[in-house]
Homo-oligomer: A and B are copies of this chain.
């Protein structure tokens, strides 16, 4: 079902229909929500990393937040945590195949966000309609 066909106010659609079509979008946004999930996901898109490696690559993140967000992402099956029995212990994080399915989503957001930034910054002179 397409968004455009899910009408909230027209004759033969209930508000329930509308809400149901919004819910999955919220689910998707939630996965990417917060200050750090996106940097972490993108960082892992380029290869498996260890905890401190990720921390180094994401300026400003604290151990606490990295730990918390990695746990969130793992709970959502987007990230895998592998413990290797060494001393001291080695933990490697990787995107699951499923995590990689986010790539087109992120790409769409990146493309839209790029033109949006240009527009808000006033660099695009196309008349803003009406």
Residues of A within 8 A of B (CB): 2-4, 6-10, 15, 18-19, 21-29, 31-33, 38-39, 42-43, 45-47, 49, 53, 57, 59, 76-77, 80, 96-98, 101-114, 116-117, 119-120, 128-130
Contacts and interface: CB of A to CB of B under 8 A. Distances in A.
A8 B54 CA distance: 10
Identical copies of this chain, number: 2
B130 A96 contact: yes
Name the prevailing secondary structure of the A interface residues: helix
Contacts of A104: 108
A29 B29 contact: yes
Given A29-B33, A98-B128, A119-B77, A110 B46 contact: no
A98 B116 CA distance: 9
